[in-house]
Structure 1
């Protein structure tokens, strides 16, 4: 089993700069590649996979943060998206378009945040956590 996140895009960003995103679940974080010279939209189009050995509790949280990337200074946080995985666990997959929130827990002026978290059963030997690639339903694609 695995939690699979398809991180698509964020639009409505202010200014021009290099962007990077961080996705975290159960203490394991993944970073996207750095998108250079983005203006108002950052198209990440990346997929992350967390192998899951124990069932995902519906109260667990997936956190995604978007940063202005800097080679010299500390990355500056643009906004955060947190999602309780209750509906993902119940339905198996979910497409989310939402706003990011800032450090004060206020929505920021980002037009759209698009991500696709899903909980998949992956092929693997009986009794294993599954180390293969995600199994997608017929007719679906990894990224759209």
Structure 2
């Protein structure tokens, strides 16, 4: 089992700074390379978290976007927290969402990404009776 994320791009970024993104899942963090850009940052980077253990239905993926500075500390532009419940059931989630700032207000910055869930090979997944259609026998 694994989770893969394709971070496509971030738009409506303020100012002209170096940008960096951190993606976290279950305490493990992946970081992008630092890009020099203005209002659009095109990353097209792939990240993968192998997953062992219980189903991740109640887990979240956290994305943080930073302005980078060589002299000062990095400034958080916004954050996006995604529940992975839909990803587990559908297998894929394509998003274009706004970030929230430190006060949980929506910002004008959008992040575009593609999240995929890869179950164990050969696993059938969870089945419920509502997933099956009842078929009436035509001979009766």
TM-score range, shorter chain: 0.7 to 0.9
C-alpha distance in 2, partners of 1:49/1:23? 10
Structure 1 position 122, deviation (Å): 6.6
Q: 1:32 to 1:122 in 2, by over 3 A?
A: farther
C-alpha distance in 1, partners of 2:54/2:6? 20
TM-score by length of 2: 0.82
CA offset digits 1:79-115 (Å, max 9, x no partner): 00100100001111110111000011010012x3201
Count of aligned positions: 122
> Which residue in 1 is equivalent to 2:59?
60
> Which residue in 2 is equivalent to 1:117?
115
Q: Aligned Cα RMSD in Å?
A: 1.5
> Which residue in 2 is equivalent to 1:84?
83
> Which residue in 2 is equivalent to 1:134?
none
Greater share of strand: 2
TM-score by length of 1: 0.80
Q: Structure 2: where are the runs of 5+ without partners?
A: 123-140
C-alpha distance in 2, partners of 1:57/1:102? 26
Q: Structure 1: where are the runs of 5+ without partners?
A: 127-144
Q: 1:73 to 1:91 in 2, by over 3 A?
A: same
> Which residue in 2 is equivalent to 1:141?
none
Q: Whose Rg is larger? A: 2
1:31-42 to 2 correspondences below 5 Å: 31-36=31-36, 38-42=37-41
